[in-house]
């Protein structure tokens, strides 16, 4: 979700967001929509866009701690919508020129998890999961036409869990280096969910703090020595 706020300065706009949303600063990301205008004849507020809660980009990497796992390795779809979604995904993979078969891995309220089993899984996943995210986006558009409440999480070769663990390990490694050298370091651009993983993982890491930098959806997290 997102909202816009204005203030005489960026910090004033951020403070407004904190008060209205009731969130801590590390629970949302900020995009500068309009910068402060300075000069004798140029005056204006700073406008920011705040991203918080769940959005489509976060669904791509969401972790389901309380998910209901389907024990059957190749479960039969429980309704017509599930059957159509699996058929759509199999057809999509085929039209991309790859072989693959999709199976339901978990159901959780209105969300279903689907894994693509394929010999071409490395290509289907793509660099940093970009192909997998694109497949998930297209599948969710189709699923939304069947039922607006359905959300689909697509995975392959357990990539999403492995990717999440890698992000956290890398954050700990760089945080230890920042604490040792006293010099801040900037991580690669990440989506909102990935940045939140880093902020949360390092929240109790002694001697360092984190902040998001940049504009747009994909921003960078800076790890810096705590003052």
> Which of 47-51, 129-133, 142-146 shows the lowest mean pLDDT across its residues?
47-51
State residue 214's pLDDT score: 87
Comparison of pLDDT for 88 and 111, the residue scoring more: 88
Residue 171 pLDDT exceeds 80: yes
CB 163 within 8 A of CB 171: no
Q: Measure Cα distances from 89 to 32, 99, 131 in Å.
A: 37, 11, 13
Can you give the pLDDT at residue 56? 39
Supply the mean pLDDT for the chain: 82
Q: Say what the pLDDT of residue 4 is.
A: 84
Kindly list the domain boundaries of the chain, sorted by start residue: 2-53, 68-157, 161-225
Task: Give the pLDDT confidence score for residue 160 in this predicted structure.
Answer: 87
Classify 161-225 by CATH class: alpha beta
pLDDT of res. 64: 38
Q: How close are the terminal C-alpha atoms of the chain, in Å?
A: 32
Closest by CA position to 180, among listed 205, 207, 200, 198: 207
**Per-residue pLDDT at 75:** 66
Q: How confident is the model at residue 68 (pLDDT cuts 50, 70, 90)?
A: very low
CATH topology of domain 68-157: GMP Synthetase; Chain A, domain 3 (3.30.300)
Contact present, 118 and 98 (Cβ < 8 Å) = yes
């Amino acid at each position: 979700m997102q909202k816009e706020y204005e203030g005489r300065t960026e910090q004033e706009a951020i403070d407004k967001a904190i008060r209205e949303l009731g969130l801590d600063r590390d629970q949302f990301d900020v995009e500068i929509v309009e910068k402060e205008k300075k000069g004798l004849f140029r005056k204006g507020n700073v406008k920011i866009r705040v991203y918080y809660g769940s959005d489509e980009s976060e669904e791509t990497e969401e972790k389901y701690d309380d998910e209901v796992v389907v024990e059957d390795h190749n479960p039969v779809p429980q309704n017509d919508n599930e059957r159509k979604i699996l058929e759509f995904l199999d057809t999509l993979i085929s039209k991309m020129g790859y072989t693959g078969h999709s199976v339901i891995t978990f159901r959780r309220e209105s969300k279903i998890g689907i894994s693509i089993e394929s010999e071409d899984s490395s290509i289907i996943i793509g660099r940093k999961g970009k192909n997998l995210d694109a497949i998930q986006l297209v599948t969710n558009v189709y699923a939304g036409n069947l039922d607006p409440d359905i959300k689909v999480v697509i995975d392959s070769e357990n990539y999403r869990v492995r990717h999440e663990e890698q992000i956290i390990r890398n954050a700990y490694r760089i945080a230890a280096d920042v604490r040792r050298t006293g010099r801040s370091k900037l991580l690669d651009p990440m989506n909102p969910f990935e940045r939140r993983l880093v902020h949360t993982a390092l929240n109790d890491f002694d001697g360092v703090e984190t902040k998001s930098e940049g504009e747009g959806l994909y921003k960078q997290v800076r790890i810096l020595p705590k003052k």
